[in-house]
Each structure stands twice: as C-alpha cells, then as structure tokens.
Structure 1
Amino acid sequence: MRGWTFLLGGLILWAVHFFTLYAIASIFLTTPLARGLTMLVTLACLAGGGLLFARMRQSDTPTAMDAWMRSVALCGIGLAAIAIIWQALPALLA
C-alpha cells in the first residue's frame, strides 16, 4: 500500500489543488481574497509535493522494482509541481 501512496501522491496533490482552485474561483470570483487563497493553496500543495519528494529521495531501493517505482513517483511529483504552478499562474497574474 505504501508504494501506491507514493506513486499517486503527486497526482493526488494536483487533483486536490485543481478542485480547491475551482471552488475558490466559483465562490469568490476575482476578488483579492481569491488571489490570496489561491496563493495559500498553491504554496501548501507545493510544500506537500516537496515533502513527498524529500521522502522519496531518502527511501532505499533494494530491488529493481522499488527503484522503478521510485523513479516513476519522482516523475509524477515533478509533473504535479509543474501543473500546480501552471494552474495557479492565471489567477495570480490577472
């Protein structure tokens, strides 16, 4: 079960960020509060991704399968971080 958590961790963070930003945009529209909440949620999700990244870098890889799962998880976390930043930019730059 731990392997699935790390494999999907970055993508789960991305989904949480997406739906939270969607809710913020639907409720608060383009108010300064919406921008502040967007920044807060984005930083929280990026911090969570950084924590996942640090844990994956520290984990040992005794077998080839574990090494493969680690590399896939790290790529997923990196992709999620890029997507989180990309989703937050329109709200923060507008």
Structure 2
Amino acid sequence: MSIQHMVIFNLHAGKDTDEAQNFLSSSAEELAGIPGVEQFQVLRQVSVKNDYDYGFSMVFADQAVYDAYNSHPVHTRYVAERWMKEVSRFQEIDFTVMA
C-alpha cells in the first residue's frame, strides 16, 4: 500500500525570500533524486487557517521503500546539514489511501 508523506514547515529565512527559494529548489533536487521517491512536490501554503509557509509531498510504494528513504545517506545528510539548520518548525504526516 502506497504512503503519501507530507511535511509542512517554516524557514528561518522567512517566506518568499531568495534564501527560501534557494532552499526549496535545492531541496527538491536533492530529495526527489533519492531512489523510491515518487511524485515529489514543493508546495506553498495559502490558507489563512494554517500558519506554516511551505510543504513537501512525496509518495512511496510501500513501507519498506519509505524506510529505505529515511535511512538513505542523502536524506540523513540533508536532514543534518540543511533541514535542522534552516527549518524553524515543521509538522510531518503520512497517509495511506482508505479503501
């Protein structure tokens, strides 16, 4: 069963800055290239009901592929060197489709 992984977040660099754009585009390039990542999207939050600025969404074929992504060296390095330094707060959520 596929998993849709989403994370919404704010950046220390703020919203709609050159630094934010750089983070978003370089993150997409890095993360979308990890084996097993499908349908990677960079999202900009527009609802007044939510105070997060951006989101990433991606799909994994199953739990094993998702687990491999989480432990992949590119992902673990990205989290340590970029995410933990540049993201001020975030929320993750994972969905499967209900039949």
The TM-score normalised by the length of structure 1 is 0.29
Structure possessing the higher radius of gyration over alpha carbons: 1
Instruction: Decide which structure has greater strand share.
Output: 2
The TM-score normalised by the length of structure 2 is 0.28
